[in-house]
Structure 1
Amino acid sequence: MTLHQTNFYAFRLMYLRVILLFSASSLLCLQLVAITATTPTNETDHLALLKFKESVPHDPYNILSSWNDSMHFYNWHGITCGRRHQRVTALNLEGYKLRGSISPDIGNLTFLRFINLQNNSFYGKIPQEIGHLFRLQQLDLNNNSLEGEIPFSLSNCSNLRFINLYVNKLIGKIPVELGSLMKLKKLQLPINNLAGGIPPSLGNLSSLTTFAAAYNNFVGNIPEAIGQLKGLEFFSIFMNKLSGTIPSSLYNVSSLQTFSVSNNQLNGTLPANIGLNFPNLQNLLFAGNEFSGSIPTSLCNATQLQNIDLGKNKFLGPVPTNLQNLPYLFLLDLSDNYLGKSLHFLTSLTNCSKLNTVDLSTNQFRCVLLNSIANLSTQLTELYFGGNELFGTIPTSFENLVNLIVLGLDDNHFMGIIPTSFGGFQKMQLLALSGNKLSGEIPTFIGNLTHLFKLDLHENKLEGTIPPSIVNCQNLQFLVVSQNNLNGSIPQQLFGSSSLPLVLLNLSHNLFTGILPFEVGNLKNMIELDVSNNHLFGEVPSSIGNCLTLESLYLQGNSFEGAIPSSMTSLKSLQRLDVSQNNLSGSIPKGLEKLPLLENLNLSFNNFEGEVPIEGVFKNISAISLIGNSKLCGAIPKLQLPKCFVKVMKPRNSVGFKLAIIIVSIVLFFILFSSFLVLYWMKNSKKKASSMVSTTNLLPSVSYKQLYQATSGFSLSNLIGSGSFGSVYKGVLHPEETFIAVKVLNLQHKGASKSFMAECNVLRNIRHRNLVKILTCCSSMDYGGNQFKALVFEFMTNGSLDIWLHPEIDSEDQSRDLSLLQRLNVAIDVASALNYLHNHSVPPIIHCDLKPSNVLLDNDMVAHVSDFGLARLLSTDDSSQKQTSSIVIKGSIGYAAPGKIF
């Protein structure tokens, strides 16, 4: 080949390379353009946030009102953007009572690093699209109402450090895929409905410091792989259904500070070197399992221990005597085990100056309780020795434990008197001395224990009577002195006008004499009253019908006479009634068959006569006892009582008979006419006096604590509505399991107190099937010492008319629709209520705020008018009518009271 040809081919080759390079560059540029065109921009974030807002229809604080086009989205409330790209990096809407679902469009916020939606009411599922957020580091969705499973797509978020999903309604298993999140530090899942086993793949999370999965339904064994987490500090799986033994590898994780496996089905023994392996351990919580063996003495080498709970297991004694090595010990619970006979280890607790609670109940300790008990920490507030075999007298040295709130010495063999030193327990709230052999009288110093909440002295050998000084215990709710030798009459101080707030009073199996005081009707909060097996006589006081919360009433084994008072038929909460073995007579009140909750009725061995009712509790042969009443008849066939004889009067034609009829008719007419005049006078007097009565006192009251517990601490998940004067919560009032609606007044709002009084004024006397029924009220102080006012109503399961006419755009309300017939029925119900208020109530009542949201629908779609906070009571006197008139319009914008403006 010539030189010319060689140069030609070289040039051609170089030319082809340039062409190829140019083509590749062009193609790369086209690809970059295409990528740029499809890459999410801040406009993508803008649209995603608007979609998120659409899925949150309930925003009581109008937090999302700033999410509009009047400003750039990086200035929207709860939004944080990065400086470089102006993309959303954080979404923080914690605690604003938002209610809605989490939009799948959240997955388009690809620069998100932090999501904080905790303490709201989000429902529905966690969208799988959240797995698109590969930059996400922290996910806080705790304390909502989220359902469904944990998205397995979370495993795509490789930068996740914190996952907080506790207090929701999540189901299913922990996704195995979460084991790939190598940067994860905290995985918190308590208080859900999760099930299945703990996946061994979690053992791969080498950065994990916290694993919390309490209050779920996990089953199976704890995986051995969990022991690979050498940085684990917090391990909590209590209140599940896990079984088997704890893996030995987990006992070697020296970084553990909290080791909580209580209330499962675990077994095995504690390793001998447990205290040496856990130098940082602060909380050892193994209660409520089936652990056995001895408590290792090495446990006290874990000198940082604060809480030791090994109760309700099968541990054997003795208890280690080197507990003085635990200077930070706060709680020691060894209850319900088999820990030997000696209490010598108590001496070793004298160095534990921070000790607050000691529970040694229900073991097999059999010895004298020594005066060395006085050397325990003065910070001690709870001390339990109940259910052992301790004997001798109760040490007087208890007086050194001045901060005791709870003392349980019940079910032992203590003898002698109640020490006078107990009079120094100024903070005592619960004193349990039952099931012993104590003698003497109930000391008068009991009246010094002004914080006493429960006093249990039953099953002893106490004599005398109940000291009148007990009336000073104004917080006493539980008083149990049954099975003693107490005598004399029942002190009226228990029931006086300034009566104790007793919930349970048990005076049974004593030697009390006299009558049951009429003042028993003052016990408005009483749930159980037991005066059985004494020597009481006289009639059962009719005032017993005032104890409207009463569930159990035991009067058997006395000498009561007369009839069962008809007022007893008003005890709608009554579940158990025993009046057997008395001298009661007359007929059985027919109203007893209408008590909805009555499930046990014993009327045996009395002198009742006449027809036995056949409805309610009387239909259940196993729920009633009528033996020993020979003059009863009728009843259901299974009771095999004789049929009732109906006496037929034969007509008489004698002049005397006709004359008698005329005389009786005249007398009856005179009595009826006189009764009419008396009733008319009483009605007018009642009108004049009604304005002078403190209306809130006529309603039964509940405590703030009861409402706090009924609504789960006024949880956001129980919030069902809010208005200008306050918020309404759904709740369950224990122990009768009554569904209620609690209207909590916002006392910071001007006019809220006036609204409370107005509503009490209106609702205290009116009764109509189409008016909401008030159950009770509460005017008290909350736990922060602030004034608290609330009204308690029947819970209406179908909500307000407003949510049926204008359903919210969420999954729960889409199916709501009212037929023409239902709408007509609702209109008739509302009209009926207004007719009653305007024309039949005395005095007439004007609602002043009638609107769909103030019309509630019960389970049968019957309408009830509610919210009388702006209602006015009209006087029938013309002059006073004019005085209440005003040109100010009250009520909601868009609504006005029909007929007149007040």
Structure 2
Amino acid sequence: MVSPGIIADADSKSLSLLVPFLLFLLITATSVTGDSLDSDSQVLLSFKSHLESWNPTEPGMYNEWETGKQEVCQWPGITCTPEGSRVTGINLRDSTISGPLFSNFSSLTQLTFLDLSSNTIGGSIPDDLSRCHNLKHLNLSHNIIGGELSLSSGGLSNLEVLDLSVNKISGDVRSTFPTLCNSLVVANLSTNNFSGRIDDIFNECRYLKHVDLRYNRFSGEIWAGFRRLVQFSVSGNRLSRNISASMFRGNCNLQVLDLSGNEFVGEFPGQVSNCQNLNVLDLWGNKFTGNIPGEIGSISSLRGLHLGNNMFSRDIPETLLNLSNLVYLDLSRNNFGGELQEIFGRFTQVKYLVLYGNSYVGGIYSSNILTLPNLSRLDLSYNNFSGRLPPQVSQSLTFLILAFNNFSGDIPYEYGNMRGLQGLDLSSNRLTGSIPASFGKLRSLLWLMLANNSLSGEIPREIGNCSSLLWLNVANNQLSGRFHPELTNMGSNPTPTFEVNRRKRDYIVAGSGECLVMKRWIPAEFPPFIFGLESLAKRSCRSLWEHVRKGKCIFPVCPPGSVVGPLDISGYLQLSGNKLSGEVPASISQMKKLSMLHLGFNEFEGKLPVEIGELPLVFLNLTRNKFSGQIPQEIGNIYNLQNLDLSYNNFSGNFPTSLNELNEMSKFNISYNPLIYGVIPSRGQLATFGKESFLGNPLLQFPSFFIQSGNNNNTSSGEGDNNGREEEEDDEAAIDMLAFCWSTVLFYVVALIGILVLVYLDCPWCRPWLGLVDAFMASLKRMLFSNRYSSVIKEKT
């Protein structure tokens, strides 16, 4: 018989074992319940609520996530396991998402793919992402994420692709990458604010193939193990010191090596020839010296060789001629000087040859460079070439850039025979004569840049046949004649040219030189391009160049009457600084892609056609011409107009208050059109401009704050100098106005005397003119006493 004590002891032991077992079952049951499709759907609905709270007006595809509407695995952007039991992927790329990152992705325990790129997600990366243990693909690129990288807990040991490019993440990455290297194949950290050293951070990444660290602030030495990668790009950092020959010893798998835009020095090692799979070698923008390694000529796969903006010797190795697949050769800005090297005329395989900024003085003919059979783009700008332009050039050319040299004489008519030409830049030379009418045959021409020469004669009517010509700049020449109506046909149908460019599958379509060309071909004051110009660096020039060349829409263009417009190609017409005359044709309304019209500093006259209000302009400059008549009310319909300059003309009539509807306008000038009268609104866009926008218009009535400005005697400390400057400005304005007023008085007096004389002579047909006498006197009184200068003028006189 077992004693009760023994039973009690047994029960106690059994109970002590049972409690942990029950707890285990409870925990296990909870875990199973939490790791199901239902639990995944609840996490996604929580994610949806997070997104909706930060994006209340523009919901993305996640707006369709509803439990009763369809199965979770059918929700837009969601992928599941093959049997549909768990969520494995989220793809909300380009879904207008803003706000911080969701901080509970780790609850999706089978998540392997997460792409939230091309949104405006901000904040920093939460620690929760480090607990997504099964995550293999993480793409947060093209957002505005900041803070420091904090994926360092070791939880992302299965990560294969990491793309954080184009964000604002900062700090050192040395504490992060050893913990991510277990399975990593792709690491893209480009275009951020990362700093620190990179010389040893990838040593343990055994499977790593693609590393992109461009456009950060990394410094120090380069990582010596890059040869085992397929692609290694560190362009636009602060890396320095020499590139050692030992870095290329042994097996080299590189296909792309981009070291451009750093501070590397010394001679570049010829051992790079061990990388026999290399397609692109980009050394542009460093401080390399010595000879160009002849061993490069043995890399038969090489298609792009970028050696520009260094200090290499001018001797070009003959072995480079063996590069039968070479498409792009850039040796710009090495200050070679002297005659163009003869060897360039033997690169018959090259399509893009970039030699700008080398101080060459001759050798164009002797080198035979202009007759290379496959040449598509030739850039010889910013040199010292002189003499006449060469008439015979390769008919295969698509872009011919000879700007900023000392060429003189006529433009050869033969250039009109290059039927595939898309860009011709002859600006800033010493060219004379007329623009060849043969240019009218260039139906593929997109850019014609002839500014800053001494060209004369008319702009040929035949230019109107250039159906692709969106960008014409002939500013600052001596051109004369009329604005022929036929010219308004230019740029009417560029689509065929863009289609040709889109179909091309060149392995290398861009390289160095894009920034220089874009900044020269896009006027700095052209509003649609200002954003692009501000951010133009090597990082963006290539992509921007390709977008424009292929006609992709990158800038907003507003049709008349529209506040928000679609993205479209923006053209311009730059005719300023010439001697052009006559009227602007009404057919200008046909130029539907024209966003910039600069006719300033010419001799245009007559009325401005009302049809100009049908253009999607953002820039209109007519300053210093002889335009007359009333300013068209229709200009007020161009709601996206940002820059309007009508100053120094002979406009008259009532001031169009419709201009007050131009809410996007940031620059406005109507000064010195003395026959304009009316009232400047005291509210709205026009009221935001200062007195300098209205000078020399005595018949205009200004708001009270214009009259009172500068007359405020503020006695506060520190404002004495400002008051002094305001008084000086008032003095200068008063003197200008006084001179104008007395000249106007003299005109009225002479006119009055003339009328009285005719009346005294009893001229019957003159008597009706007596009615004008009263009008003269009224205008004179209004001019002298109803504007902000009247009191100042009285005081000065």
| TM-score w.r.t. length of structure 2 | 0.63
3-state SS of the aligned residue for 1:347? helix
Q: 1:32 to 1:121 in 2, by over 3 A?
A: farther
Which residue in 2 is equivalent to 1:551? Answer: 619
Superposed CA deviations along residues 737-759 of structure 1, whole A, max 9, x for unmatched, are: xxxxxxxxxxxxxxxxxxxxxxx
Q: How far apart, CA to CA, are the structure 2 residues paired with 1:133 and 1:600?
A: 52
Shift of 1:176: 1.0
Which residue in 2 is equivalent to 1:260? Answer: 258
Equivalent position amino acid for 1:453 in 2: L
3-state SS of the aligned residue for 2:337? coil
Which residue in 1 is equivalent to 2:485? Answer: 492
Q: CA RMSD in A?
A: 4.7
Shift of 1:227: 0.9
> Does the alignment pair 1:427 with 2:420?
yes
Superposed CA deviations along residues 36-74 of structure 1, whole A, max 9, x for unmatched, are: 87569755431652343333427838997799999999x
Which residue in 2 is equivalent to 1:446? Answer: 439
- Map of 1:488-637 to 2, 5 A cutoff? 488-495=481-488, 503-556=571-624, 558-585=625-652, 595-601=662-668, 607-608=674-675, 613=680, 623-624=692-693, 626=695, 636=707, 637=709
- Map of 1:300-379 to 2, 5 A cutoff? 300-313=297-310, 317-347=314-344, 349-352=346-349, 355-370=350-365, 372-378=368-374
> Does the alignment pair 1:400 with 2:400?
no
What is the aligned-residue identity percentage?
25
Which residue in 2 is equivalent to 1:233? Answer: 230
Q: How far apart, CA to CA, are the structure 1 residues paired with 2:361 and 2:224?
A: 41
3-state SS of the aligned residue for 1:366? strand
Equivalent pair of 1:489/1:514 in contact (CA under 8 Å): yes
Equivalent pair of 1:208/1:229 in contact (CA under 8 Å): no
Which residue in 1 is equivalent to 2:548? Answer: none
Q: How far apart, CA to CA, are the structure 2 residues paired with 1:598 and 1:102?
A: 37
Q: How far apart, CA to CA, are the structure 1 residues paired with 2:144 and 2:431?
A: 55
3-state SS of the aligned residue for 2:597? strand
Superposed CA deviations along residues 343-388 of structure 1, whole A, max 9, x for unmatched, are: 2255365242xx332222222121142272255342x432211221
Which residue in 1 is equivalent to 2:80? Answer: 79
Equivalent pair of 1:52/1:103 in contact (CA under 8 Å): no
Equivalent position amino acid for 2:194 in 1: A
Which residue in 2 is equivalent to 1:774? Answer: none
Q: 1:533 to 1:348 in 2, by over 3 A?
A: closer
Equivalent position amino acid for 1:475 in 2: S
Equivalent position amino acid for 2:695 in 1: L
Q: 1:77 to 1:434 in 2, by over 3 A?
A: closer
Equivalent pair of 1:66/1:77 in contact (CA under 8 Å): no
> Does the alignment pair 1:273 with 2:270?
yes
Residue ranges of structure 2 left out of the alignment (5+ in a row): 1-14, 49-58, 495-569, 711-729, 742-797
Query: How many corresponding residue pairs?
Result: 603
Q: 1:132 to 1:492 in 2, by over 3 A?
A: closer
Equivalent pair of 2:166/2:190 in contact (CA under 8 Å): yes
Equivalent position amino acid for 2:35 in 1: D
Equivalent pair of 2:152/2:179 in contact (CA under 8 Å): no
1:381 to 372, 376, 387: 376
Which residue in 1 is equivalent to 2:472? Answer: 479
Q: How far apart, CA to CA, are the structure 1 residues paired with 2:177 and 2:425?
A: 50
Equivalent pair of 2:80/2:89 in contact (CA under 8 Å): yes
Q: 1:30 to 1:318 in 2, by over 3 A?
A: farther
Which residue in 1 is equivalent to 2:209? Answer: 210
> Does the alignment pair 1:139 with 2:137?
yes
> Does the alignment pair 1:60 with 2:58?
no
Q: 1:36 to 1:69 in 2, by over 3 A?
A: farther
Equivalent pair of 1:307/1:330 in contact (CA under 8 Å): yes
Shift of 1:221: 1.1
Which residue in 2 is equivalent to 1:727? Answer: none
3-state SS of the aligned residue for 1:435? coil
Shift of 1:274: 5.3
Q: 1:560 to 1:70 in 2, by over 3 A?
A: closer
Shift of 1:304: 2.8
Shift of 1:493: 1.0
Q: How far apart, CA to CA, are the structure 2 residues paired with 1:566 and 1:260?
A: 55
Equivalent position amino acid for 1:464 in 2: G
Q: 1:419 to 1:78 in 2, by over 3 A?
A: same
> Does the alignment pair 1:409 with 2:397?
no
User: Highest CA radius of gyration, 1 or 2?
Assistant: 1
Superposed CA deviations along residues 277-303 of structure 1, whole A, max 9, x for unmatched, are: 544432222335565665444443444
Equivalent pair of 1:414/1:436 in contact (CA under 8 Å): yes
- Map of 1:9-158 to 2, 5 A cutoff? 43-46=33-36, 48-57=39-48, 60=61, 78-80=79-81, 91-94=88-91, 107=106, 112=110, 114-117=112-115, 128-132=127-131, 136=134, 138-143=136-141, 145=143, 147=145, 149-153=148-152, 155-158=154-157
Which residue in 2 is equivalent to 1:854? Answer: none
Equivalent position amino acid for 1:395 in 2: P
Equivalent position amino acid for 2:335 in 1: Y
Q: How far apart, CA to CA, are the structure 2 residues paired with 1:633 and 1:63?
A: 57
Equivalent pair of 2:380/2:403 in contact (CA under 8 Å): yes
Q: How far apart, CA to CA, are the structure 2 residues paired with 1:387 and 1:219?
A: 30
Which residue in 1 is equivalent to 2:771? Answer: none
Q: How far apart, CA to CA, are the structure 1 residues paired with 2:300 and 2:248?
A: 17
Equivalent pair of 2:608/2:627 in contact (CA under 8 Å): yes
Q: How far apart, CA to CA, are the structure 1 residues paired with 2:214 and 2:88?
A: 28
Q: How far apart, CA to CA, are the structure 1 residues paired with 2:310 and 2:655?
A: 51
Which residue in 2 is equivalent to 1:390? Answer: 385
Shift of 1:91: 1.7
Q: How far apart, CA to CA, are the structure 2 residues paired with 1:417 and 1:458?
A: 14
Superposed CA deviations along residues 103-150 of structure 1, whole A, max 9, x for unmatched, are: 76654666x59435466869576553554565x472333557584654
Equivalent pair of 1:119/1:142 in contact (CA under 8 Å): yes
3-state SS of the aligned residue for 1:324? helix
3-state SS of the aligned residue for 1:155? coil
Equivalent position amino acid for 1:52 in 2: V
Q: 1:559 to 1:127 in 2, by over 3 A?
A: closer
Equivalent pair of 1:373/1:397 in contact (CA under 8 Å): no
Equivalent pair of 2:651/2:676 in contact (CA under 8 Å): no
Which residue in 2 is equivalent to 1:221? Answer: 219
Equivalent pair of 1:514/1:536 in contact (CA under 8 Å): yes
Residue ranges of structure 1 left out of the alignment (5+ in a row): 1-25, 645-902
3-state SS of the aligned residue for 1:140? strand
Shift of 1:315: 5.2
Q: 1:326 to 1:95 in 2, by over 3 A?
A: farther
Equivalent position amino acid for 1:329 in 2: L
Equivalent pair of 1:342/1:366 in contact (CA under 8 Å): yes
3-state SS of the aligned residue for 2:393? helix
Equivalent pair of 1:493/1:499 in contact (CA under 8 Å): no
Q: 1:542 to 1:145 in 2, by over 3 A?
A: closer
Equivalent position amino acid for 1:391 in 2: S
Q: How far apart, CA to CA, are the structure 1 residues paired with 2:151 and 2:27?
A: 26
Q: How far apart, CA to CA, are the structure 2 residues paired with 1:164 and 1:609?
A: 60
Equivalent pair of 1:368/1:391 in contact (CA under 8 Å): no
Superposed CA deviations along residues 517-544 of structure 1, whole A, max 9, x for unmatched, are: 2333444443332333434333333443
Superposed CA deviations along residues 400-457 of structure 1, whole A, max 9, x for unmatched, are: 32xx322212222233433343333222222112222334432222222112212112
1:418 to 408, 411, 419: 411
Equivalent pair of 1:243/1:266 in contact (CA under 8 Å): yes
Shift of 1:631: 7.2
Shift of 1:620: 5.4
- Map of 1:461-860 to 2, 5 A cutoff? 461-495=454-488, 503-556=571-624, 558-585=625-652, 595-601=662-668, 607-608=674-675, 613=680, 623-624=692-693, 626=695, 636=707, 637-638=709-710, 639=730, 640-641=733-734
Of 278-287 and 634-643, the range deviating more from structure 2: 634-643
Equivalent position amino acid for 2:280 in 1: N
Equivalent position amino acid for 1:257 in 2: Q
